[in-house]
Amino acid sequence: MTSGVLYRGLIWILSLAAVGYAIKTTGLGSTIDKAWIDNDILGHGFSGELLFVGVSLLFTAVGFPRQVICFLGGYAFGLVEGTVLALLGTLLGCIIAFFYARILGQDFVVTRFPDRVKNIDIFLSDNPLSMTLFIRLLPLGSNLVTNLAAGVSSVNAVPFIQGSAIGYLPQTLVFALVGSGFSVDPELHIAISVILFIISGIIGVSLYRKNRQGKSFDSNIEHKLGVDAEKYKNT
């Protein structure tokens, strides 16, 4: 695996860590994220949790980075509850985008992403659950475009959603861990998060390379992973 594969994800972790420190030490977030978390989420019990999940699903459904949602979940609720609620919100966002494309947005998606739709249809056709899991574990690619392209493909919704739920979990845990670390031992939380992110990325890339069966999910991703898509096109 090339160093560039993990670079963007590590930048995410470090930038979110910087945001967290700013929230804690300068009050920068008092007019942005921290105000919303503190005023509308924390201390509101089930209604606060429901609001967090609702906002999370809406934002991720339209392409907001799910890593940010996971970070905020950890910041608001701690590691365990934050992971669960962030995973629920981002998975529901995935489902909304998938069925929007399948029911309403087919012409738009096929027109905008014709190659991606074709590739994902071929890539997921034989074993959609496993293949979805592999691409969700990769530290690359657009979550929204994948959801939309899968929605207009022939892939069955159930294994795609199941694979997404399992594949989302490692990064959800990593970024919730970063978010949860700003009250106690932030340096330790960040260090553990970086290690876990690297491990999950290596596992994802290894599984993808081993089980891709000569299929190409995305030529740009193949290039960044150091995989020669043309070499395996007809295998």
Number of domains in the chain: 1
Work out the average pLDDT over 103-112.
75
Tell me which residue range forms the domain holding 25.
3-232
Looking at 15-19, 27-31, 78-82, 208-212, which range is the least confident one? 27-31
In 27-78, which residue ranges form alpha helices assigned H by DSSP?
33-36, 45-61, 66-77
Single out the residue of 46, 97, 90, 92 nearest to residue 70, CA to CA.
90
Please state, in angstroms and rounded to a whole number, the distance separating the CA atoms of residues 71 and 75: 6
Is residue 46 within 8 Å of 81, Cβ to Cβ? no
Question: C-alpha 70: how far from its chain's center?
Answer: 9
State the DSSP H helix or E strand holding residue 166, giving kind and residue range, or none if neither. helix 157-180
- pLDDT tens digits, one per residue of 121-145: 888 887 889 888 888 887 666 788 8
- pLDDT tens digits, one per residue of 168-218: 999 899 889 888 876 566 677 778 878 888 888 787 777 777 767 666 666
Q: Which pLDDT band, with edges at 50, 70 and 90, does 19 fall under?
A: low
Question: Using alpha carbons only, how large is the chain's radius of gyration in Å?
Answer: 18
Burial 177-213 (b: 16+ CB within 10 A, else e): bbbbbbeeebeebbeebbebbbebbeebbebbeeebe
Instruction: Say which DSSP state 153 is in.
Output: S
Looking at 88-102, 154-168, 195-209, 215-229, which range is the least confident one? 215-229
Work out the average pLDDT over 70-79.
89
One-letter amino acid of 69:
I
